[in-house]
């Protein structure tokens, strides 16, 4: 499956490649096909990058992103996941919630793994959950110039539901309320919607 909104990036190179391939066949001149090689490689790269595979929903609070854990700070309830170019870039809801707000902030494009990336272009989504308020921030990186949210204020989302994507390398930060315990640590590999990143230790009072 191709990520929502990624069609032009995937099929654009393919459409541009076809005329060259057709000329090579019609004129029986392989030199025309040489021009299609970079476009073919761009198509294959985009097909892999914008993939959106099916995921089995994990237990507890699940990762919002594929990639490598940069930080799992229990004191601050903060999880940071870095998404490399080869990771799936579709982000998912960490648990059942209602979207309280979606705010886009312009900023720089420092490397997504660096601490100064906190000042990068970002989209902050606040969820109201049974545990309290959960904040997810999608942060653009050096090559990521577009964050595409799939949800808006007032939407109800289910755990593991696709809620947006970031194009070309980035990071996602998750801030959880008190009463949860991280089950991952820095360096761990996680998968969006599938890997359990935290468990509830103290159930919220009614």
Which pLDDT does position 95 carry in this prediction? 95
pLDDT at 190 exceeding the cut of 60:
yes
Q: State the Cα–Cα distance between residues 49 and 41, nearest whole angstrom.
A: 12
- pTM for the full predicted model: 0.79
Neighbour order of strands in the sheet with 162-166: 90-92, 162-166, 147-149
Q: Average pLDDT of 90-103?
A: 96
Q: State the Cα–Cα distance between residues 20 and 100, nearest whole angstrom.
A: 49
Which pLDDT does position 15 carry in this prediction? 73
What's the pLDDT band for 26 if we cut at 50, 70, 90?
confident
pLDDT at 57 exceeding the cut of 90:
yes
pLDDT at 99 exceeding the cut of 80:
yes
Which pLDDT does position 182 carry in this prediction? 96
Which pLDDT does position 156 carry in this prediction? 97
Structure tokens that stand for 119 in this block: 């000042």
What's the pLDDT band for 33 if we cut at 50, 70, 90?
confident
Name the active-site residue from 36, 46, 63, 170.
170
List, in sequence order, every beta strand (DSSP E) within the chain.
61-62, 67-73, 78-83, 90-92, 97-105, 122-129, 132-140, 147-149, 156-157, 162-166, 170-175, 180-182, 189-190, 196-200
CATH of 61-200, one of 3.40.50, 2.70.70, 2.60.120, 1.10.10: 2.70.70
pLDDT at 93 exceeding the cut of 90:
yes
- Tell me if residue 33 is catalytic: no
User: 97 or 33, which is more confident?
Assistant: 97
pLDDT at 199 exceeding the cut of 70:
yes
Q: Average pLDDT of 158-166?
A: 93
Please state which of the ranges 68-82, 89-103, 108-122 shows the lowest mean pLDDT. Answer: 108-122
What's the pLDDT band for 112 if we cut at 50, 70, 90?
low
Q: Average pLDDT of 160-170?
A: 84
Average pLDDT, the chain: 83
Could you identify the residue written with the tokens 């970031």? 166
Please state which of the ranges 59-63, 139-143, 159-163 shows the lowest mean pLDDT. Answer: 139-143
pLDDT at 141 exceeding the cut of 90:
no
Q: State the Cα–Cα distance between residues 190 and 81, nearest whole angstrom.
A: 8
């Amino acid at each position: 499956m191709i990520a929502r909104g990624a069609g032009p990036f995937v099929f654009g190179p393919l459409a541009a490649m076809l005329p060259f391939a057709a000329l090579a066949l019609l004129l029986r001149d392989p030199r025309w096909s040489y021009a299609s090689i970079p476009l073919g490689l761009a198509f294959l790269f985009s097909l892999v990058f914008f993939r959106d595979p099916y995921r089995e929903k994990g237990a507890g609070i699940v990762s919002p992103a594929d990639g490598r854990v940069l930080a799992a700070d229990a004191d601050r309830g903060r999880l940071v996941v870095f998404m490399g170019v080869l990771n799936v870039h579709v982000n998912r809801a960490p648990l059942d919630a209602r979207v309280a707000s979606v705010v886009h902030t312009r900023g720089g494009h420092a490397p997504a793994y660096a601490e100064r990336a906190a000042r990068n272009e970002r989209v902050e989504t606040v969820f109201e959950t049974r545990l309290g308020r959960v904040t997810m921030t999608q942060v653009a990186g050096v090559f990521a110039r577009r964050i595409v949210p799939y949800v808006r204020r007032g939407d109800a989302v289910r755990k593991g539901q696709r809620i947006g994507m970031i194009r070309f390398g980035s990071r996602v930060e998750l801030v959880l309320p008190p009463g949860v315990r991280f089950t991952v640590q820095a360096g761990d590999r996680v998968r969006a919607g599938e890997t359990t990143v935290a468990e509830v230790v103290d159930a919220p009072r009614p």
